[in-house]
Amino acid sequence: MSTKTIAVAIDGPAGAGKSTIARRLAKNLNYIYVDTGALYRTVALSVMSSGVDPDNVAAVKAHIDTINVDITYRGDEQRVLLNGNDVSELIRTPEVSMMASKTSAIPEVRAFLLGLQRKLADEHNVVMDGRDIATVVLPEARVKIFLTASPEIRAKRRYDELIQKGTDVKFEDVLSDLIQRDEQDMNRAVAPLKPSEQSVIVDTSDLDLEGAVKAMRTVIDNILSGEN
Ligand code: DC
């Protein structure tokens, strides 16, 4: 990572509010926002739509050699491209979520996406959110925050989001999917979800969006002002 650019790494489980909060912070700070989950989702969508068996690691590895995943920006909104096609909406289904949790455990999938994430942080000031940003992708990030909340609160937020988009889901299914994804993300051998030793832990269970953004901004300002 270039020493000229500043990175804010935000990791945490699904539904902790990472993307909404990170997007807001990036706008406030005038940095670009990088949602790395969208990259894993794009790979998952590609695996799903080409009929590759996700349990056949060799087949997944062979498949990713044939695809191109990229990020572009429409204004300050991140869009993800699969072989040049904008798939930003198609990756937001519960099926793709579950597939992404599965295929992201494959080391070759992680290696495939690493260069793009580091390149973005090398070229821009970033707020980057994911699971392993502080531990693996940007270990030199100036600010490292681990954002979390109770599973029930996270599931409720995810449920409300899906209902608002018109997706027909049951709360119990959203909660059990989320607990299963937490399990998979925290227990995989490569780059498991966990705070880095330097991460500041922020729990958003009792905070609304404004409160969470404010708490995070305070953490960021304190760290950046101490170093500049
Ligand atoms: O943040 P999200 O729900 O869009 O992420 C989808 C899946 O991608 C998640 O279950 C785990 C995986 N992921 C990952 O392994 N590493 C990241 N940096 C981001 C996401």
* Cβ pair 62, 104 in contact under 8 A: no
Classify residue 29: in a domain, yes or no: yes
Classify residue 133: in a domain, yes or no: yes
> How confident is the model over 33-50, as pLDDT tens digits?
999 999 999 999 999 999
As a whole number of angstroms, the longest Cα–Cα distance in the chain is 51
pLDDT number for residue 32 = 96
Q: Does residue 177 have its Cβ closer than 6 Å to ligand 1?
A: no
Closest residue by CA, ligand 1 atom 15: 104
Domain total in the chain: 1
Model confidence band, residue 3 (pLDDT cutoffs 50, 70, 90): low
pLDDT number for residue 165 = 87
Closest residue by CA, ligand 1 atom 14: 131
Classify residue 85: in a domain, yes or no: yes
Copy the structure tokens of residue 179: 């607990």
Q: What are phi and psi of 80, to 5 degrees?
A: -110, 140
Average per-residue pLDDT for the chain: 94
Classify residue 228: in a domain, yes or no: no
* Cβ pair 101, 130 in contact under 8 A: no
Closest residue by CA, ligand 1 atom 11: 101
Q: Which of 21, 104, 135, 158, when mutated, tests ligand 1's pocket best, judged by the most ligand atoms within 8 Å of its CB? A: 104
- Rounded to an integer, the average pLDDT of 11-15 is 92
pLDDT number for residue 94 = 87
Q: Does residue 87 have its Cβ closer than 6 Å to ligand 1?
A: no
Overall pTM surpassing 0.75 (yes/no): yes
Number of neighbouring beta carbons within 10 Å of residue 154: 24
Q: Does residue 132 have its Cβ closer than 6 Å to ligand 1?
A: yes
For the chain, how far is it from start to end, CA to CA, in angstroms?
18
Model confidence band, residue 161 (pLDDT cutoffs 50, 70, 90): confident
Provide the domain limits for residue 86.
Answer: 7-223
Q: Does residue 185 have its Cβ closer than 6 Å to ligand 1?
A: yes
pLDDT number for residue 227 = 60
* Cβ pair 23, 156 in contact under 8 A: no
> How confident is the model over 92-133, as pLDDT tens digits?
998 999 999 999 999 999 999 999 999 999 999 999 999 999
Q: What is the DSSP letter of 87?
A: -
- Rounded to an integer, the average pLDDT of 73-99 is 95
Q: From the CA of 13, how far away is ligand 1's center (Å)?
A: 8
Length of the chain: 228
Model confidence band, residue 135 (pLDDT cutoffs 50, 70, 90): very high
* Cβ pair 157, 12 in contact under 8 A: no
Q: Does residue 100 have its Cβ closer than 6 Å to ligand 1?
A: yes
Classify residue 137: in a domain, yes or no: yes
The CATH number covering residue 81 comes to 3.40.50.300
Classify residue 99: in a domain, yes or no: yes
- Rounded to an integer, the average pLDDT of 3-9 is 92
Classify residue 140: in a domain, yes or no: yes
> How confident is the model over 165-209, as pLDDT tens digits?
898 999 999 999 999 999 999 999 998 999 999 999 999 999 999
Residue 23 has pLDDT above 70, yes or no: yes
- Rounded to an integer, the average pLDDT of 60-74 is 97
Classify residue 2: in a domain, yes or no: no
- For residue 117, what are the CA distances in angstroms to 128, 155, 157? 9, 27, 27
Q: Does residue 41 have its Cβ closer than 6 Å to ligand 1?
A: yes
